[in-house]
A and B are shown apart, each in its own frame.
Chain A
Amino acid sequence: MSSIITYFTAMSALQAMTFGVVLATFALYIFIAIKARAGTTGEFYVAGKGVHPVLNGMATGADWMSAASFISMAGLIAFKGYDASVFLMGWTGGYCLLAMLLAPYLRKYGKFTVPEFIGDRYYSNTARVVAVICLIVASLTYVIGQMKGIGVAFSRFLELPYEVGLGVGMVIVFIYAVLGGMKGVTYTQIAQYCVLIFAYTVPAVFISLQLTGHPLPQLGLGGELQGSGMFLLEKLDKTLVDLGFTQYTTQNGSTLNIFLYTMSLMIGTAGLPHVITRFFTVPKVKDARSSVGWSLIFIAILYTTAPAVGAMARLNLMETIRPSGTAQAAQGSEGEWLKYDERPQWFKNWEKTGLLKHEDKNGDGKIQYVGPNYKGLENEMVKVDRDIMVLANPEIAKLPNWVIALVAAGGIAAALSTAAGLLLAISSSISHDLLKGIIIKNMSDKKELLAGRIAMAGAIVVAGYFGFNPPGFAAQVVALAFGLAASSIFPALMMGVFVKRVNNIGAVCGMLSGLGITLVYIFWFKGWFFMADTAMAANTPENWFLGIAPEAFGTVGALVNFAVAYLVSRITPEPPEHIQHLVEDIRVPGVMKR
Chain B
Amino acid sequence: MSSDSQKYWKANIRLVSGCLVVWFIVSYGCGILFAPALNKFHILGGYPLGFWFAQQGSIYSFVILVFFYAWRMNQLDRKFGVQED
Q: CA A293 – CA B4 in complex, angstroms?
A: 28
From known contacts A233-B51, A588-B5, A592-B5, infer whether A284 and B27 are also in contact, taking CB-CB under 8 Å. no
Within 8 A of B (CB), among A81-118: 82, 85, 88-89, 92-93, 95-96, 99-101, 104
- Secondary structure at chain B's binding surface: helix, strand, loop or mixed? helix
The size bracket of the interface on B is 35 or more
Q: Bits for B39-63, please: 1 = Cβ < 8 Å to A, else 0.
A: 1000111111001101110111011
Q: Nearest Cβ in chain A — how far from B78, in angstroms?
A: 10
Instruction: Output the residue of A95, A293, A591, A594 with the most chain B CB within 10 A.
Output: A293
From known contacts A222-B45, A262-B32, infer whether A89 and B59 are also in contact, taking CB-CB under 8 Å. yes
Give the nearest-CB partner of A237 in chain B. Answer: B48
Instruction: Output the residue of B33, B35, B48, B66 with the most chain A CB within 10 A.
Output: B66
- Which residues from B are CB-within-8-Å of A587? 5, 9, 12
B63 touches A589 (CB 8 A): no
Among the listed A99, A250, A590, which residue makes an inter-chain contact with B85, where contact means beta carbons less than 8 Å apart? A590
Q: Bits for A267-307, please: 1 = Cβ < 8 Å to B, else 0.
A: 00000000000000000111001101100110010011001
B23 touches A96 (CB 8 A): yes
A251 touches B36 (CB 8 A): yes
- Which residues from A are CB-within-8-Å of B9? 587
- Which residues from B are CB-within-8-Å of A263? 28
Among the listed A85, A95, A223, A251, which residue makes an inter-chain contact with B66, where contact means beta carbons less than 8 Å apart? A95
A258 at interface (Cβ–Cβ under 8 A)? yes
A303 touches B48 (CB 8 A): no
A593 at interface (Cβ–Cβ under 8 A)? yes
Q: CA A278 – CA B39 in complex, angstroms?
A: 38
Q: CA A101 – CA B73 in complex, angstroms?
A: 12
Q: Nearest Cβ in chain B — how far from A262, in angstroms?
A: 7
Give the nearest-CB partner of B47 in chain A. Answer: A222
- Which residues from B are CB-within-8-Å of A218? 56
A159 at interface (Cβ–Cβ under 8 A)? no
Q: CA A230 – CA B45 in complex, angstroms?
A: 10
A255 touches B65 (CB 8 A): no
A168 at interface (Cβ–Cβ under 8 A)? no
B2 touches A592 (CB 8 A): yes
Q: Nearest Cβ in chain A — how far from B74, in angstroms?
A: 6
Among the listed B52, B59, B63, B85, which residue makes an inter-chain contact with A293, where contact means beta carbons less than 8 Å apart? B63
Q: CA A167 – CA B7 in complex, angstroms?
A: 56
Q: CA A297 – CA B54 in complex, angstroms?
A: 17
B46 touches A232 (CB 8 A): yes
B67 touches A262 (CB 8 A): no
Give the nearest-CB partner of A94 in chain B. Answer: B62
Among the listed B2, B36, B59, which residue makes an inter-chain contact with A303, where contact means beta carbons less than 8 Å apart? B59
B63 touches A292 (CB 8 A): no
Q: Bits for B8-31, please: 1 = Cβ < 8 Å to A, else 0.
A: 110010001001100100011001
A100 touches B46 (CB 8 A): no
- Which residues from A are CB-within-8-Å of B66? 95-96, 99-100, 289, 292-293, 296
Q: What 10 A-B pairs are tightest by C-beta distance, nearest first? A: A231-B46, A85-B54, A289-B70, A222-B47, A222-B44, A222-B45, A293-B66, A307-B55, A588-B82, A249-B51
Q: Footprint of A on B, CB under 8 Å?
A: 1-2, 4-5, 8-9, 12, 16, 19-20, 23, 27-28, 31-33, 35-36, 39, 43-48, 51-52, 54-56, 58-60, 62-63, 65-67, 69-70, 73-74, 77, 80-85
19 A-B interface contacts by CB (under 8 A): A82-B51, A88-B55, A88-B58, A89-B54, A95-B66, A96-B66, A101-B16, A231-B46, A262-B32, A285-B84, A289-B66, A289-B70, A296-B62, A587-B9, A588-B77, A589-B83, A590-B82, A590-B83, A591-B82
